[in-house]
A and B are shown apart, each in its own frame.
Chain A
Amino acid sequence: MTLLRISDLKTQFPTPDGIVRAVDTIDLSIGERETLGLIGETGCGKTVLGLTLMRLLQSSTKTEGTIIYKGTNLLKISEAEMRRIRGEEIAMILQNPTTSLNPVMRVGGQIAEAIRLHQGLSKRDAKEKAIEMLDAVRIPSPSIRVNEYPHEFSGGMKQRVMIAMGLACNPSLIIADEPTKGLDVTIKSQIMKLLKEVTEERAMLIITHDLGVARELCDRIALMYAGELVEYATTGEIFEDPLHPYTRGFLGSLPSNGLVPIPGMSPSLINLPDGCRFHPRCGHATELCRRKHPDMIEIEDGHFVRCFHA
């Protein structure tokens, strides 16, 4: 069953230098128990896509298209209804823990608030639950730590508090923006195990630069470049048989392959290149690529690519 279907989604920011086309005509759907990975270049629009789904962007932002969640278009409902959705249905684990946590409120209080709001627990039970959540994300001495403030936590510990808060309200869909950023390998593998358990009974959109995490957790993966999707397939297909030149270059630049970046610069999202947006950096670009913008086509069953020569 499809839980979320995004069609023709566009998000644009007007700035004095021009309009930033951060999310440009995205179509995507997520099944009820599916984990979908969203990966791509820094600045390509992943977080903005997540924030658009949550309707958390400033009011000057222009959004078009539809976001159908359980039959309702989230772009059409009232702010009050949206608040309920954010509390009970969809949770987002934000990319930046330090600016997302309240610096003058105890860590436990912040988790407890997230729980209490949605589950109607007493203050005491909510605190118990907060301690449980801290333990679940592997914070040592959780019953002492629950009373501390964010600045007393290390970077990776704050990151894990964000995960605890995201899971606290028992949502149907979790949007996790770089959930394992700043975690060492041992704690990361424990957190991945936790996320795996959690996704057995719900859907997750996981935005990550960590290809190991994407490979281990996701059913399908969408590659994004300059505001649009360029490849979309099962995790196995993306890693074994990537078709888009960007995806190939991307996988080839893993540090274990030495330090070989994709040549050239990320494009401006105000003045996007004509034709294929990747053509200034693509080794296979032809005259056609410079002139015409390729559509996303299904090359094999369930494997979509936006490239003339894939």
Chain B
Amino acid sequence: MLEVLGLTKYFSSGLIRKRYLRAVDDVSFKIEKGKTLGLVGESGCGKTTIGRLILRLTKPTGGKVLFDGIDLFALNRRELLAIRPRIQMIFQDPDSSLNPRMKIGTSIAEPLKLHGTIPKAKRGQRIRELIETVGLNPEHVNRYPYQLSGGQNQRVVLARILAMNPDLIIADEPTSSLDVSVQAQILNLMKDLQKKFDHTYLFVSHDLDVVRIMADRIAVMYLGRLVEIGETGDIYDCAKHPYTQALLSAATVDGGKERIVLKGETSSPIDMPAGCRFHTRCPRKRERCTIEEPELVEVGRDHYVACHLV
């Protein structure tokens, strides 16, 4: 369904002495139709950039994205426009992905109008249905985004995406503004719709409890690189990469495993350390780690890790 191959994005800055910020560096993964890949990693490690690259909102430095076998980076504008309704992204920041001068109802109606899937007479009905599915009230339809709360806007964005019923949904922190109860409602809804329509999800989240419930497979990123990828159960039960282990241990609320506290600072993607990017904080680093960058190797069925120790 979705195949990402060697995806790379360097942002350059500085006019005279050019600096490169390596936001995404040679990332590859696959998501099968109807499945969910959870994408986790530190703030600033490149998750949103991956989503934007797939949507072609950011120009790639290198790599390929195949969607149903179609090379997205090779499409011309017209072809891209034709395929766009099938790939949608729920942006991390709901307020800025809604038009501030457009009423909520109009915002949701827009994709229905654009794709003409539903006759005009039935649109009002469909909008009310969508509003209700995401747990909003009919009274919200006539308001502008600034007149709704953060979590209400987040659900408007979701309703808009559902109106388009795309095949691939890139969900970037889709429930970050919701309370736990409404979050549970929305996650259940996303799972139900996935079953019904065979949606494929790339699901970005910082909440490891949520990822565990939602994802079939999990990809862990650190400073632009994939460091571990595997089935959800394998990642939670036998994570192999020291960063994944630290991440999971930091998330355990109380009892259970001991917390691994990471010392040192995250390195900067502008000034990348040599060797393994995690070596500045890795509790298990060896000399080799400061010289040679580890490659992803298969450590179990469909479980890959980039670390010299495995």
**Residues of A with Cβ closer than 8 Å to B?**
13, 15-18, 39-43, 46-48, 95-99, 138, 140-141, 144, 148, 152-157, 159-160, 178, 181-189, 209, 211-212, 249-250, 253-256, 258-262, 265-266, 268, 270
Asked whether, in the complex, the Cβ of B48 is within 8 Å of the Cβ of A155, the reply is yes
In the complex, the answer to whether B177 meets A140 with C-beta atoms within 8 Å is no
If A155-B48, A156-B43, A268-B139 touch, whether A259 touches B150 (CB-CB below 8 Å) is: no
Task: Specify the chain B residue showing the minimal Cβ separation from A253.
Answer: B181
- The docked-state distance in angstroms from the alpha carbon of A17 to that of B144 is 13
**Nearest chain B CB to A91 CB, angstrom units:** 19
The answer to whether B93 and A261 touch across the interface, beta carbons within 8 angstroms, is no
* Contact residue among A43, A153, A155, A157 (Cβ-Cβ distance under 8 Å from B149): A43
Task: State whether A98 touches B42 (Cβ < 8 A).
Answer: no
Nearest 5 A/B pairs, CB to CB = A42-B151, A156-B43, A140-B268, A141-B268, A255-B209
**Distance in angstroms between the alpha carbons of A18 and B143 in the assembled complex:** 12
**Known: A42-B149, A265-B137. Contact between A184 and B42, CB under 8 A?**
yes
Instruction: Look across to chain B and name the residue whose beta carbon is closest to the beta carbon of A18.
Output: B139
> Given A42-B177, A99-B95, are A185 and B247 also a contact pair (CB < 8 Å)?
yes
**Shortest distance between the CB of A118 and any CB in chain B (Å):** 27
B221-259 Cβ-contact flags toward A at 8 Å (1 or 0): 000000000000000000000000011001101000000
Chain B residues, CB < 8 A from A41 = 179, 181-182
- Which of B29-37, B113-121, B122-130, B183-191 has 4 or more CB atoms under 8 Å from chain A? B183-191
Is the beta-carbon distance between B180 and A255 smaller than 8 angstroms? yes
Decide if B265 is an interface residue (CB 8 Å cutoff).
yes
Partner of B247, one of A152, A184, A270: A184
Residues of chain A contacted by B178 (CB below 8 angstroms): 42, 209
B132-152 Cβ-contact flags toward A at 8 Å (1 or 0): 000101010011000111111
B28 within 8 A of A: no
Determine whether the beta carbon of A42 is less than 8 Å from that of B188: no
Complex alpha-carbon distance, A148 and B23, angstroms: 15
| B42/A187 in contact, CB under 8 A | yes
B194 at the interface (CB under 8 A from A): no
Q: Is B176 an interface residue (CB 8 A)?
A: yes
Interface residues of B in 175-216 (CB under 8 A from A): 176-185, 187-188, 206-210, 212-213
B262 at the interface (CB under 8 A from A): yes
Once the chains are docked, how many angstroms separate the CA of A48 from the CA of B150?
11
Instruction: Collect the chain B residues with CB atoms within 8 Å of residue A211's CB.
Output: 180
Q: Which residues of B contact A (CB under 8 A)?
A: 11, 13, 19, 40-44, 48, 92-93, 95-96, 135, 137, 139, 142-143, 147-152, 154, 172-173, 176-185, 187-188, 206-210, 212-213, 246-247, 250-251, 253, 262, 265-271
Complex CA–CA separation, A302 to B267 (angstroms):
46
B151 close to A185 (CB less than 8 A): no
CB-contact partner of B181 in A47, A95, A152, A261, under 8 A? A261
Complex Cα–Cα for A186 and B95 (A): 26
> Are B139 and A17 in contact (CB-based, < 8 A)?
yes
In the bound complex, do residue A184 and residue B40 qualify as a contact, i.e. CB atoms below 8 Å apart?
A: yes
B41 surroundings in chain A (CB, below 8 A)? 184
* CB contact between A138 and one of B152, B184, B266 (< 8 Å): that residue: B266
Tell me the minimal C-beta distance from B281 to chain A in angstroms. Answer: 9
Contacts of A157 in B (CB 8 A): 43-44
CA distance A96 to B146 in the complex (A): 11
User: How far is it, in angstroms, between the C-alpha of A256 and the C-alpha of B209 when the chains are bound?
Assistant: 6
> Would A186 and B42 count as touching, CB distance under 8 A?
yes
- B96 engages A99 (CB within 8 Å): yes
Report the nearest B residue to A139, measured CB to CB. B44
Chain B residues lying within 8 Å of A187, measured Cβ to Cβ, are 42-43, 266
When distances are taken between beta carbons in the complex, the residues of chain A under 8 Å from B149 are: 42-43, 46-48
Q: Residue of A at shortest CB range from B96?
A: A98
Give the contacting residue for A185; candidates B135, B180, B206; CB below 8 A: B206
Q: Please tell me if the beta carbons of A262 and B177 are within 8 angstroms of each other in the complex.
A: no
Residues of A within 8 A of B11 (CB): 152
A138-B265 CB under 8 A given contacts A13-B147, A17-B139, A259-B187:
yes
CB<8 Å pairs between A and B, sample of 25 = A18-B139, A43-B152, A48-B149, A140-B269, A144-B268, A152-B13, A154-B44, A155-B43, A155-B172, A156-B43, A178-B150, A182-B206, A185-B250, A186-B246, A186-B247, A187-B42, A209-B179, A212-B253, A250-B179, A253-B180, A255-B180, A255-B207, A259-B187, A259-B213, A261-B181
In the assembled complex, the CB of A184 is this many whole angstroms from the nearest CB of chain B, namely 5
Complex Cα spacing A41 to B186, Å? 13
Q: Which of B150, B262, B266 contacts A140 (CB 8 A)?
A: B266
